[in-house]
Structure 1
Amino acid sequence: MDPPAPDNAEVGDVSTVLTNLVRPKTSATITVRVIKSFEFRTEKSLVLHDVNLESSTVADLKSMALQAIKTQPGWKAYRSFTDSNDESRRLDTLKLYTKAHGAKTTNLIINLDHDDWILDDDHKTLSQVGLENETEVSLFNHQAYEIFKAHPETRWDEVGA
């Protein structure tokens, strides 16, 4: 159920529309949570604007995120994870974290339940896999995710990523 419109709102007023419905599917804003380390909760958010959810595929979203990490300032610590030959380090998997106005997980780094939210079909469009404006997805190394999922313990000591 949509929240009630404010008293001063007119029919069709943008202020009454949920934010995930404000922008067209051809110009969405997507937040990519780039996870460097699960156990140390090392994550940085990348905001991608004007993403076409109807024509961009899961592979395209990965490519956009990796290209931004390689070229934008402030991502130096993550660049070695973009095209690493080491399969245990390479950022290779996307998973839905949350949609706008949706519930978030209690785990601060990634939602460990709902493995069905892993976007594993690179050929599907983002719209087909359920992404909307203001959706958050996690980008991470699948091998590291499986290890963390088996033993979801976080660390705070000086040794780490």
Structure 2
Amino acid sequence: MATYTDFSDVHTNLARPKNSAILTVRVIKSFQYRTERSLVLKDINLETTTVGQLKDISRQAIQIQPGWKPYRNVELDAMKLYSQAHGAKTTNLIINLDHDEWILTDDSKTLAEAGFENETEVSLFNRDLYEQFRENPKTTW
């Protein structure tokens, strides 16, 4: 007889162990046109995977998975935390322009050290394009 485990009182960010997290990488092609696509990565070990490795995993997935051709010519060199499960989200649809301390500059830091949990969303983008957008955050349709 199958047993039922009730996870209704467990937040999703705590429902999976740190060695098997699900992360969403928001790959941003254009800030101005709000062009982004989400890449869902499963079974990521937050305690051993570094920020640099996550960038490499994401870029590799973009190169080999179908449907990512428009994103293959963008130099994706920076990451910034976007949101955590059950946390507040920004009102900007493409990236949070506040909290510059959320930009992940240390590629040797593990994801757990950088504050990642299960169901964390992180943006992957070109840092120069981000800085230009911060100076003039206008969007075009």
TM-score range (shorter-chain normalised) is over 0.9
In structure 1, the gaps of 5 or more residues are 1-9, 82-89, 157-161
Q: How does 1:77-96 map to 2 (within 5 A)?
A: 77-81=70-74, 90-96=75-81
Structure 2 CA distance for aligned equivalents of residues 78 and 94 of structure 1: 15
Please report the TM-score for the alignment, with normalisation by the length of structure 2: 0.95
CA displacement at 1:13 relative to structure 2? 3.1
Which structure's CA Rg is the greater one? 1
Please report the TM-score for the alignment, with normalisation by the length of structure 1: 0.84
Pick the aligned partner of 1:104 from 79, 82, 89: 89
Structure 2 CA distance for aligned equivalents of residues 70 and 96 of structure 1: 22
Structure 1 segments, 4+ long, off by >4 Å, are none
**What is the match of residue 154 of structure 1?**
139
In structure 2, the gaps of 5 or more residues are none
Task: Let me know the Cα RMSD of the aligned residues.
Answer: 1.1
| Paired-residue identity, % | 65
The alignment of Structure 1 onto Structure 2 pairs a total of residues equal to: 138
Structure 2 CA distance for aligned equivalents of residues 65 and 112 of structure 1: 22
Larger RCO (alpha carbons 8 Å, 6+ apart): 2
CA displacement at 1:15 relative to structure 2? 2.0
**What is the match of residue 137 of structure 1?**
122
Deviations 1:98-139 (A, max 9, x none): 000011100000000000000110000000000000000000
